[in-house]
Amino acid sequence: PADDTTMFIFGASGDLVKRLLVPSLYNLDRDGLLDQGMTIVGVDIAEHDDESFRKHLKDFIADKAADKHAEGGGQELDEEHWQDFARRIHYLQGDFTESNVFEQIKGHIEQADSDNALFYCATAPRFFGDIAEGLGKADLMQEGDNRYRRLVVEKPFGHDLESAKALNAQLLEVMKEEQIYRIDHFLGKETVQNILVARFANVLFEPFWNNHYIDHIQITAAETVGVEQRGSFYEKSGAMRDMVPNHLFQLLAMIAIEPPAAFGADALRSEKAKVLGALRPWPRDEVRKNSVRGQYRAGQLNNDDVPGYRDEPNVAEDSNTETYVAMKMMVDNWRWVNVPFYLRTGKRLSARDTEIAICFKPAPYAQFRGTDVERTASNWLIIQIQPNEGMWFDFQAKRPGPELEMDTVKMGFAYKDFFDLPAATGYETLIYDCLTGDQMLFQRVDTIENSWRAVQPFLDAWAEDDSVEGYDAGSEGPQSAHDLLGRDGREWHKIGEVTGPGVA
Ligand code: BG6
C-alpha cells in the first residue's frame, strides 16, 4: 500500500468528489492499497460535520451503485466495507480564500500519525491560486526527509497560454515541480496507457509508425451527452478548452512521441513536451481554414428529442460557445512531416466514441490490375479508447471464387476477450500515483504550456470572429468538418462504427 498520509480535498462538497474521487478511494481501499492510518479530510465552505459529510457521500454513492446494479451492471455498495472505509473521512469547514483554514489544516497534520500530506484542488479553477498561496504562507509545502507534501490540480489548468503560465508561476513560487500533480483523467484510462505498451512492447508497429507509411491520423472524442448541468462552466470554456489542449493532445502525444530513453516520469514527459512543442501554431489567417467551430441545435438522439445548446440551463440565448471543434494539426518534426493529425470532439453527436484512427498509405504499386480494386484500399488501425475497448486492423483479402476480387477484412483485439476491465472510475491509478509519488501520468509545466501555445491561435482568431456553425443533435457534426477532410481528399472514420471480431 501507499505510505500513510492525510489527504485534504478542497471543494469537498462538489460534484467531482462524490462522483469520482471518493468512489476511487473506496476502490483503492477495497483493494488494500491505502495505508491503514490514512485519513481523508474534506475542506469546504458548506456546513457539515464528519457524520453528515460521510452521509452526504454515502447516499450518493449507494444510490448510484444501486441504479447501476438494477441496470444489470456492478455491485451494490457493500455496507460493511463502506463503514470500514468511512472512518477515514473527516470534514473541515472553512473558506480557502482565508488564512484561518490553513492554520486548521496545520493543526490537523500535527495531530496525525504521519507528516505526509496530499492537497487536492477539486474546486472551481479560480481558487487554485488562492489555495497555493494559502499553503505557501502557512508553510505547508515544505518537504522534509521523512515527509512529502504534494498538490493535485484538476483541469482546467488556465484558460489560455497566458493564464496557464501565470498559474504555473504562482504554483512554482511556493513549491517545486516535483510536488505538483496536474491531473488529466484521460491518462487514467487503461486504453490510453496501453498505447505506449502497444507501440513500445511490440516490434510490429514501430517500423511503420512514420510519414513513410502513415497517410494521416484522426483523433475523435465524440459524446452523446449535452452540457448537462454545467452550462455556466461550459459557456466560458467551450469544446476547445474543455477537451483539446488536455485530453486530445495527450492522445496525440501518446501516438506521436519518440520512444522515451527510460521508462520514467521525466523521460516520458520530455518526449511529450517535444512533440507538443512541435505542433505547428497556425498563423492567424490560416486558423479558419484549418478548423471548424460548431454548436448543436435541437435534434434527436436514441429516438428522444433533445434541446439545442442555446436552450440548455444557464446558457445564453444567443451564445456562440462551441460545442464541437474539428481541426487539422501538423507535427513539424522528422517523423511526422506531411502527416496531418485531424482532431474532433463534440457533444450531442450520434454516438459515444473515443478513438484514434490511423490511416496507412496504400500499397505503393497496384499489383492487381483489372480487378475491382484498381487502387488498393488503405489499411486502417483503429484504437478504440471507449466504449468497446480494443484495437482493430483493416486489411485486404481475396474474396473466394475464380475471379480475383478483394475485400476489406479485420483483425481485432477486444479487451473483454482477454482481460477483466475492473469496475473503476479511471481515477484509481491517478490517485494511487499521487500517493506513491509517480508523476508519469501527470502533466508537467512544459507539456501544459506547449499545448496552450498550439491552441492559442485558434482562441485569438475566434475572439475576433466567434461565429459557429449549427449541427443537429444526433448527427456527426457540422458539414464543414467533412469539408475539412474532403479538401484533402480524405474522409472521417464513421463515428461509433467499430466492427470486427469481439465487438459487442
Ligand atoms: C471532461 C470534460 O474533462 O471530460 C467533459 O470536462 C467531458 O466535458 C469529459 O464530458 C469526457 O470524459 P470521458 O472520460 O467521459 O470520456
Maximum Cα–Cα distance across the chain: 84
Phi, psi (5° rounding) for residue 231?
Answer: -50, -45
Mean pLDDT by 10 residues, the chain (504 residues): 94 94 95 96 96 96 90 86 96 93 95 95 93 96 94 95 96 97 94 95 96 98 94 95 97 97 95 98 94 98 96 97 98 98 98 97 77 69 93 92 87 91 82 97 97 97 96 97 96 88 69
Contact in structure between 242 and 436 (CB atoms under 8 Å): no
What one-letter code names the amino acid at 52? S
Q: Which atom of ligand 1 approaches the CA of 225 most closely?
A: 10
What pLDDT score was predicted for residue 455? 97
The alpha carbon torsion through 41, 44, 50, 51 (nearest 10 deg) reads -130
Which has the closest alpha carbon to 256: 217, 283, 286, 282? 217
What is the whole-number distance in angstroms between the Cα of residue 186 and the centre of ligand 1? 8
What pLDDT score was predicted for residue 345? 98
Element spanning 168, H or E: helix 161-174
For residue 372, the SS3 value is: coil
Element spanning 214, H or E: strand 214-222
The residue whose CA is least distant from atom 14 of ligand 1 is 186
What pLDDT score was predicted for residue 374? 53
Report the C-alpha gap between 228 and 226 in whole angstroms.
Answer: 5
Element spanning 219, H or E: strand 214-222
Separate counts of helices (H) and strands (E) for the chain: 16, 17
What pLDDT score was predicted for residue 351? 96
Catalogue the active-site residues. Answer: 247
Which has the closest alpha carbon to 150: 116, 114, 183, 113? 116
Q: Quick one: cell of 115?
A: 507528516
Which has the closest alpha carbon to 68: 423, 426, 503? 423
Element spanning 274, H or E: helix 265-277
What single-letter DSSP state applies at residue 312? Answer: S
Partners of 383 in the β-ladder: 356, 391
What one-letter code names the amino acid at 475? S
What pLDDT score was predicted for residue 311? 97
∠ CA(419), CA(425), CA(428), 5° rounding?
A: 85
Which has the closest alpha carbon to 470: 346, 302, 354? 346
The residue whose CA is least distant from atom 9 of ligand 1 is 243
Phi, psi (5° rounding) for residue 230?
Answer: -105, 25
Q: What is the DSSP code string of 13-64? A: TSHHIIIIIHHHHHHHHHTT-S-TT-EEEEEESS---HHHHHHHHHHHHHHH
What is the SS3 assignment for 129-151? HHHHHHHHHCCCCCCECCECEEE
Test site for ligand 1: of 19, 154, 185, most ligand atoms within 8 A of the Cβ: 185
Q: What is the DSSP code string of 384-445? A: EEESS-EEEEEEEEEESSSS-EEEEEEEEEEHHHH----S--SHHHHHHHHHHT--TTSB-H
Q: Quick one: cell of 452?
A: 496552450
Pairing of strands 6-10, 117-121: parallel
Contact in structure between 467 and 258 (CB atoms under 8 Å): no
Q: pTM for the whole thing?
A: 0.95
What one-letter code names the amino acid at 192? V
Q: Quick one: cell of 74?
A: 456492478
Q: Does ligand 1 have an atom closer than 6 angstroms to the CB of 154?
A: no
What is the whole-number distance in angstroms between the Cα of residue 401 and the centre of ligand 1? 48
Q: Does ligand 1 have an atom closer than 6 angstroms to the CB of 242?
A: yes
What is the whole-number distance in angstroms between the Cα of residue 281 and the centre of ligand 1? 25
Buried/exposed 362-376: b ≥16 CB within 10 Å, e otherwise: eeeeeebeeeeeeeb
Q: Quick one: cell of 43?
A: 475542506
